[in-house]
């Protein structure tokens, strides 16, 4: 599937003017002309118009330490730095003493480069790690000699990782793993090296370009978030419906090993924050049985955010998984052993990634590893909670289908809400929601944290925050009201926004009941609401009308004397 270098070069002649342009600088201590062409050419296939400058080779320090250099004039979004192992070996050769400090000195230089760049530019740095070469002076004994080249080279790669772990804008592109994949002899070509100043073979260029563009892709928000798994012959060997739970292949014997290892990989992805969904043509109870009962299954039901097993077609099922998760098709990957299913999905949903799994399940993992599907540039602790949130949402959807009557469903949820004014514990979340909330937001007035703090202590305002939990889980703070006192008997609803996660739960009625109750206890006769249209808040244009407010020019008014509380199934929870 990977293109050859000469094909990538042909991309350079294509019209890329409609693609997203990104400024990239390449700094190398060897000649980088082919590398630049390969990256720019492959950039076209990734949908980028890469505007690239290339420093003359061996100009890394000059470009970085001279603040008048082309690098700073160009002001790239991405800087690729490629310091080669061959140059490192050359400088090692010239060093007669202190060879055990080569790695530390190199890291110090990297640090200086990093500091100099980040003090002047807001660029991301993609640093190529060092490919493994050995001068074979000590043989294997080099592993015991700190001053050997091999020792220093390996230490340097390790130290680079520690350095990258501490610096956000410093990303390592693991070209050493490319060398590992294709072998040293294919990675380095003496004829190329001797006749040019290039240390990368022609055949390695497309792979290195791909490794680089995978990072650029992620930096531009193109990230995979969800794996949709087929079950029979993908997650385990055999067909559960025909073979039965005792005959499917999984575990430590024979081909079962391949499926077990595949499942461990999926499990690690889940732990990293990738959402795992199942899409299988099966009877649901039969498909779930191995997850519940098979002793060798690595994946269990609580690893799966959405479990879809039915006899419908996979395209529809994947569409509904996508709807439930509220993510784009382009962030989904579909793994299925059946070429027929793969093709149908590919044809109907071109955005989804459908790897062409090898015929032999033993090869699944090595093949998937080579695709580098799950490149990322950040992981957060929140990622790990994600599966749980989606599972809870899916459970609610299932339960809802079981109730013919909406009220019975809402009653069954056992909803509770904490209602409290703004305080130092909820202010950060209130201001965060104020910045982010778009759809269910009546006036879309954005308040910063310090403004929210001022409002919370002002006599002119009354503030309410609402949380919502139910028997499935806690949604946390999901609704905010700011009331402004405009006369002794009138309140104006300055702010009303709510998370769309809790739509259709009767929350709106509960909130209004709460406000009216507060008003009645404080001598208020009338509450005034207003809807300010924004490009995204169309969903609430009839909000006040639905709640029984009467239109008065551009505002909506509610007389408290005649107010009849809304029926709802949310109870107040005291903290």
Partner 1 sequence: MDRTEILIQINLIFKDTLDNEELVIMESTTANDIEEWDSLTHIQLIVAIEKTFKIRFTSKEIQEWKNVSEMIDCIKSK
Residues engaged in binding partner 1 (CB under 8 A): 5-6, 9-10, 13, 33-34, 189-192, 194-196, 198, 201-203
CB-CB contact of 491 with 506 (8 Å): no
Nearer to partner 1, 25 or 35 (CB): 35
CB nearer to partner 1: give 8 or 277.
8
12 vs 37: CA distance, rounded Å:
8
Minimum distance from residue 202 beta carbon to partner 1 (Å)? 5
CB nearer to partner 1: pick between 6 and 450: 6
User: Considering the complex, what minimum distance in angstroms separates the CB of residue 7 from partner 1?
Assistant: 9
Between 34 and 447, name the residue whose CB sits nearer to partner 1.
Answer: 34
DSSP annotation of 56 reads P
Structure tokens at 25: 């600088």
473: part of which helix (H) or strand (E)? strand 473-487
Quick one: 6 or 111, whose CB is closer to partner 1?
6
Half-sphere exposure of 250 (CA within 13 A, CB side): 30
Residue 317 CB contacts under 8 Å (≥ 6 apart), including other chains: 279, 308, 310
**Cβ–Cβ contacts within 10 Å for residue 26, how many?**
23
Closer residue to partner 1, CB minimum distance, 11 or 320 = 11
Q: Residue 164: which of 118, 127, 132 has the closest Cα?
A: 127
Tokens for 447, please give them.
Answer: 């308040």
Q: Which is nearer to partner 1, 192 or 560 (CB)?
A: 192
User: What letter would DSSP give residue 151?
Assistant: H
Considering beta carbons, is residue 194 or 398 the nearer one to partner 1?
Answer: 194
Q: Where are the beta strands (DSSP E) in 162-274?
A: 170-173, 226-229
Residue tagged 């039965």 (tokens): 244
CB of 24 to partner 1, least distance (A): 20
Smallest separation, CB 201 to partner 1 (Å):
8
Closest distance to partner 1 from the beta carbon of 31 (Å): 9
CA 486 – CA 461 distance, rounded (Å): 9
**What residues form DSSP beta bridges with 558?**
527
Q: Could you tell me the smallest distance in angstroms from the CB atom of residue 46 to partner 1?
A: 21
Burial class (CB within 10 angstroms; exposed 0-12, middle 13-18, buried 19+) of 51: middle
Most distant CA atoms of the chain, gap in Å: 94
Task: Name which of 189 and 338 has its Cβ closer to partner 1.
Answer: 189
CB atoms within 10 A of CB 575: 6
Residue number with CB closer to partner 1 (1 or 194)? 194
Is the Cβ of residue 5 or residue 130 nearer to partner 1 in the bound state?
5
The residue (of 140 and 191) whose beta carbon lies closer to partner 1 is 191
Residue 63's alpha-carbon distances to 35, 54, 69, 87, in angstroms, are 19, 10, 5, 18
Extract long-range pairs of 487-491: CB within 8 Å, 24+ residues apart: 488/523, 489/523, 489/524, 489/525, 489/526, 490/524, 490/525, 490/526, 490/527, 490/528, 491/462, 491/515, 491/519, 491/524, 491/526, 491/527, 491/528
Angle CA(313)–CA(341)–CA(250) in degrees, nearest 5?
Answer: 105
Smallest gap from residue 55 Cβ to partner 1 (A): 17
Q: How many CA atoms lie within 13 A of 308 on its CB side?
A: 25
Comparison of 61 and 203: residue with beta carbon closer to partner 1: 203
CB of 130: closest distance to partner 1 in angstroms? 23
| Cα dihedral 104→107→112→113 (10° resolution) | 150
Shortest Cβ 381–partner 1 spacing (Å): 48
Q: Please, are residues 204 and 179 in contact by the beta-carbon 8 Å criterion?
A: yes
Tell me the closest approach of the beta carbon of residue 6 to partner 1, in angstroms.
Answer: 5
Closest approach, Cβ 115 to partner 1, in A, equals 34
CB of 190 to partner 1, least distance (A): 7
Closest CA to 33 of 166, 205, 151, 187: 205
Q: How far is the CB of 182 from partner 1 (least distance, A)?
A: 14
């Amino acid at each position: 599937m990977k293109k050859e270098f000469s094909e990538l070069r042909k991309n350079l002649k294509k019209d890329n003017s409609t693609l997203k342009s990104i400024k990239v600088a390449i700094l190398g201590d060897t000649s980088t002309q082919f590398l630049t062409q390969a990256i720019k050419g492959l950039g076209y296939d990734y949908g980028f118009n890469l505007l690239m400058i290339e420093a003359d080779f061996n100009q890394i320090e000059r470009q970085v330490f001279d603040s008048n250099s082309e690098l700073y004039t160009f002001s790239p979004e991405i800087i690729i730095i490629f310091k080669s192992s061959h140059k490192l070996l050359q400088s090692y050769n010239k060093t007669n003493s202190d060879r055990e400090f080569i790695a530390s000195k190199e890291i110090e230089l990297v640090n200086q480069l990093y500091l100099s760049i980040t003090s002047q530019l807001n660029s991301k740095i993609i640093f190529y790690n060092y490919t493994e070469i050995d001068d074979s002076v000590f043989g294997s004994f080099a592993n015991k000699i700190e001053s050997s080249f091999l020792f220093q080279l390996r230490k340097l790669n390790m130290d680079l990782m520690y350095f990258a772990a501490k610096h956000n804008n410093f990303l390592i592109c693991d070209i050493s793993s490319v060398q590992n994949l294709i072998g040293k002899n294919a990675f380095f070509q003496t004829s190329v090296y001797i006749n040019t100043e290039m240390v990368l073979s022609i055949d390695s260029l497309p792979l290195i370009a791909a490794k680089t563009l995978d990072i650029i892709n992620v930096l531009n928000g193109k990230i995979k978030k969800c794996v949709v798994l087929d079950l029979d012959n993908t997650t385990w060997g055999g067909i559960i419906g025909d073979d039965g739970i005792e005959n499917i292949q999984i575990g430590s014997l024979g081909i079962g090993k391949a499926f077990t290892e595949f499942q461990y990989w999926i499990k690690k992805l889940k732990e990293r924050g990738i959402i795992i969904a199942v899409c299988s043509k099966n009877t649901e109870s039969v498909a779930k049985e191995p997850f519940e009962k098979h002793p060798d299954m690595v994946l269990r039901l609580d690893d799966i955010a959405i479990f879809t097993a039915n006899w419908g077609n996979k395209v529809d099922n994947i569409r509904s998984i996508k709807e439930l998760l509220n993510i784009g098709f382009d962030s989904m990957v579909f793994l299925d052993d059946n070429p027929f299913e793969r093709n149908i999905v590919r044809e109907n949903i071109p955005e989804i990634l459908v790897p062409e799994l090898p015929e032999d399940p033993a090869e699944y993992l090595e093949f998937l590893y080579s695709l580098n599907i799950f490149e990322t540039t950040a992981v957060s602790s929140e990622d790990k909670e994600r599966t749980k949130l989606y599972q809870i949402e899916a459970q609610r959807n299932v339960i809802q289908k079981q109730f013919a009557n909406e009220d019975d469903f809402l009653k069954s949820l056992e909803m509770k809400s904490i209602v409290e004014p703004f305080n130092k514990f909820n202010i950060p979340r209130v201001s965060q929601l104020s910045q982010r909330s778009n759809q269910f937001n009546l006036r879309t007035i954005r308040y910063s944290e310090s403004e929210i703090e001022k409002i919370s202590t002002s006599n002119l305002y009354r503030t309410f925050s609402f949380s919502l939990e139910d028997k499935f889980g806690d949604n946390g703070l999901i609704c905010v009201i700011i009331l402004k006192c405009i006369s002794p008997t009138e309140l104006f609803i300055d702010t009303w926004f709510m998370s769309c996660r809790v739509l259709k739960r009767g929350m709106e009625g509960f909130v209004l009941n709460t406000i009216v109750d507060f008003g009645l206890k404080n001598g208020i006769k009338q509450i005034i609401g207003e809807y300010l249209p924004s490009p995204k808040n169309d969903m609430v244009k009839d909000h006040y009308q639905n709640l029984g407010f009467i239109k008065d020019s551009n505002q909506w008014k509610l007389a408290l004397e005649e107010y009849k509380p809304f029926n709802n199934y949310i109870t107040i929870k005291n903290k």
